[in-house]
Every structure is written in structure tokens, then in C-alpha cells.
Amino acid sequence: MTDPTPLAQRDLVPLLFGHAAFQQLNAFCELGLAELLSERPGLTGAQVAEALRVPPRSADVLLLGATALRLTAKDGDRYRNARLVTEWIDDGLWANLRDIVEFQARIAYAPAAEYVDSLRKGENLGLRHFAGDTRDLYSRLTGTPGLEELFYRGMNSWSRVSNPVLVRGVDYSGVRRILDVGGGGALNAIELASAHPHLRVTVLDRPSALDVAAENIGHAGLSDRVDTFAADIFEDDYPAGYDCHLFAHQLVIWSPEQNKRLLGKSLRALDPGGRTLVFNAFTDDDGGGPLYTALDGVYFTTLPFESSTIYPWSAYEGWLRELGYASQRRVTLETWTPHGVVEGHKSASAG
């Protein structure tokens, strides 16, 4: 929904210095200030400098930035973590946020400078920052050691932060078997099987991705209910016998035509009465936000594929209707990210 609050002069500060705000957050994470203040709350600036092994001036600049951004709080001359930071550390989510920040710093940040040219030419010109001549980010990551691992680690962390709506918001009481199309490392499959003991889940993806998935499934102790199926999501037929298909973070990558192709394949392969789940971030139907997707649009414009887009809810619903799904349903939760699920239901009488 469009924010009715008019732009004020003070709003120019985060616009002009947004890049600096991120660098403060990145330093906060990379230097380990959150962990330090978790272990030793109430340190002075001098003690922080000594513990982090940085010059006193560096500690002062870092602490000023962290406090102004409300990552830390200052009481007299002593510092502690913000309550939210403490909660995320206690819940184990802070490690996920660190992965996300590292992803932004090492993969998304420099290519964002190509945003204007990418808009002018309609091409994902951020790829200039990665070795290779292919037209997508994923195949280029292999040219720089460590980046592919960071990419999937960052994506897994995004999923862990955003998937409560998928795991808890959707009603799985009538579902038996889920096909996780393009499920990669099996994070969502594992989360779903762990939360819903009656579910069986199959991860469908390229063989190279399934090596990681099989390892993760084994570590989770779920090999009896989560398995894998090697296939190309576009070119190969989907296996029969599933009453639910999941596209998690897949349909923001492709063009509308490609998305309809995938959703059509799903409809044909689903059991009668089954459903297709589209799980990712969405833009508001009125085109006014939310801020998260507006800013994330820079990444999708400069990097993944030329057609990558965060689409509005209504786009998916329109595609599902056009393809012949019997009904659609939106699933949301009150969370800080604009992730949700669109369900497309296949008629029980369909073949």
C-alpha cells in the first residue's frame, strides 16, 4: 500500500547515505560487535577497541554508526546490543542475518552501481562484476572461489528468515506429498517435514544441487520422508503422485511467459484436487510498495536474469486463472518481510 506520508527534508538522509548505512551494518557484523556485546554487555568504547583490535578512533566511528542506526544502545559511556539484536542472537537467527549481510556485501553491493545502465538498456548489467560470458548470475558465480557457496548460504538464510508464512501459514492438514520444484539445498523441504510429521517431500532440481540437498536431508535425519528427484524444471516432466507442488523463490527469477510455463506443467502433473504453492516476496497490487520489494528490485534488475522481477500478488493470480486453476488464495502473516504464498487449486474433477 502506498505510504501517504509526504517526503520531508529529513527523509533525504537515509536516501543520500543509504550506502553508508549498509557499510555500518556490514562492519557491525564482520567485526563481531554484536557477539562481543552479547558476551560482555556494558563495555566502554575503549574496551570495544581493545577487544576488536581496532584503533580507538575506529571503535568510536563504528559505535556512533551502530548507535545511530539503533543496533546498539548507549548508557553513559557504555554500550549494549539493541533488544532485537539480543533476541536474534538468542534465537539463533543472528547467524542468518550475518549470512544475508555478507551476501549483500560480496555479491549484490558493487553490481548495484550498474542499476541506471541496467534500466536504460533493460539488461542485467551487474554481471560485469563476475567472470564469464553467460547471461545469468548463477552460472557466473562458479568463476570466483567461494561465491557459489556464499550465494546458497545467503539464500538459505533468507528462506529461514522468511519462511514462517510457508511453514505455519499454509494449511497442510489435507496434503500428503509435496514436490519442491527447484528446491535446491532442501531447506524448505526439511522445515516442512519437521513441522508437519505426516508430510512426505521430494526435492526436484539439477543433479549438482541435489548433492547438497541429500547431505542436508541426511544431517536432519529425515531421509525416510524427504527424498530427491533429478530433473530440469523446464524441460523434464514432473513425477506423478503429488497433491502439492511448491515453487519457493523460483517465480521471481523468470519472465511471465516462463512462469506460466512452469505453472502449467504443475497443473498438468498435480493430482486432482491438488494445489500449487508460490512462495516468495510480492509487490503491492497498487504499485506503491512495500519498501522492501522496491529496494530489492535493484538486485533483481542488475543481477539474476534479464527478466527477474518481484511481481505483484495479482500477477500470479491472473496467471493461475488463465491456466485453468479452479481457485486461488493468498496466505500472509504479520512479518517484517513481504513474503507470502499464493495457492492455486486444481479441480477435483480434473484429469
CATH number for domain 171-291+308-345, candidates 2.60.40.1180, 1.10.10.10, 3.40.50.150, 3.30.2010.10:
3.40.50.150
Query: pLDDT tens, 174-230?
Result: 999 999 999 988 999 999 999 999 999 999 998 878 988 999 999 999 999 999 999
pTM above 0.85, yes or no: yes
What is the location of CATH 1.10.10.10 in the chain?
A: 9-91
Return the pLDDT at 347: 95
Fold held by 9-91: Arc Repressor Mutant, subunit A (1.10.10)
Q: What is the pLDDT of residue 142?
A: 82
> Which pLDDT does position 14 carry in this prediction?
94
Please give, one letter per residue, the 3-state secondary structure of 292-305.
Answer: HHHHHHHHHHHCCC
Residues 111-148 have pLDDT tens digits of 999 999 999 999 999 999 999 999 999 889 888 888 98
Average pLDDT over residues 227-255: 96
Residue among 198, 328, 342, 346 at smallest CA distance from 271: 346
pLDDT in tens, 32-56: 999 999 999 999 999 999 999 999 9
In 3D space, the residue among 204, 285, 210 whose CA is nearest the CA of residue 246 turns out to be 204
Which residues of the chain are in CATH 3.40.50.150 domains?
Answer: 171-291+308-345
pLDDT value at residue 144: 84
257-276 residue pLDDT tens:
999 999 999 999 999 999 99
In this predicted structure, the answer to whether residue 283 has a pLDDT above a threshold of 90 is yes
**Is the pLDDT score of 70 beyond 80?**
yes
Cell output for 248? 519457493
Higher local confidence (pLDDT), 242 or 351: 242
Question: What is the share, in percent, of the chain residues with pLDDT greater than 70?
Answer: 99
Work out the burial of residue 122: count CB atoms within 10 Å of its CB; fewer than 13 is exposed, 13-18 middle, 19 or more buried. Answer: exposed
The predicted pLDDT at position 212 comes to: 85
